[in-house]
Structure 1
Amino acid sequence: MPGWSVHVDRTRCLGCGVCAAYAPGSFTQDDEGLAVLCDPPVDPLDEVRAAVDSCPTGALSLAITDVATIEREG
């Protein structure tokens, strides 16, 4: 993942699917309905950030690992 990473805390996930609605190229749900990060995630950072921010249980966290890469990619 260029410049950022996402962690899914599956113990906090309730399977509402908000993440997949905001960033369907980066999140999906498994057979239990819990969030799974796609490999590789393909949505733009702003859509991933919206998914993380919209998670009602805070099961998703976003870490910016390389600001220069993010700035280059726009």
Structure 2
Amino acid sequence: MTDRWHVEVDRDLCVGSGMCVSSAPEAFRLDAARRSRPVVPDREPAEEVLAAAEGCPVEAISLTLAGTGEPVFPPED
């Protein structure tokens, strides 16, 4: 059984670049204020979602394991 990810976007940090939507269009949408939000906050792990988080220019996307809250991205130091 695969752990699900919880996807969060810090809307105070988000600048609306749309890179996450380009990387993972099934996982992210820009709202009317051009701020990103996850389509579904809890989801199966996907390389595209991880790539979107890693590519966010302001590091506004975080991924954690849905059951435990353990960080997936950004990793703990």
TM-score normalized by structure 2? Answer: 0.73
Which structure has more helix as a fraction of its residues?
1
| Residues 6-56 of structure 1 deviation map (CA, whole Å, 9 limit, x = unaligned) | 111000000000000000000010001110110367786110000000000
Shift in alpha-carbon separation, 1:42–1:21, aligned structure 2, 3 A: farther
Q: Following the alignment from structure 2 to structure 1, what is the Cα–Cα distance between the partners of residues 26 and 56?
A: 16
Cross-structure match for 1:18? 19
Q: CA RMSD in A?
A: 2.1
TM-score normalized by structure 1? Answer: 0.76
User: Matched residues, percent identical?
Assistant: 37
Which 5+ residue runs of structure 2 have no aligned equivalent? 68-77
Runs of 4 or more above 6 Å deviation: 40-43
Which 5+ residue runs of structure 1 have no aligned equivalent? 67-74
Instruction: Count residues in correspondence.
Output: 65
Shift in alpha-carbon separation, 1:65–1:44, aligned structure 2, 3 A: closer
Which structure has more strand as a fraction of its residues?
2
Q: Following the alignment from structure 1 to structure 2, what is the Cα–Cα distance between the partners of residues 39 and 14?
A: 20
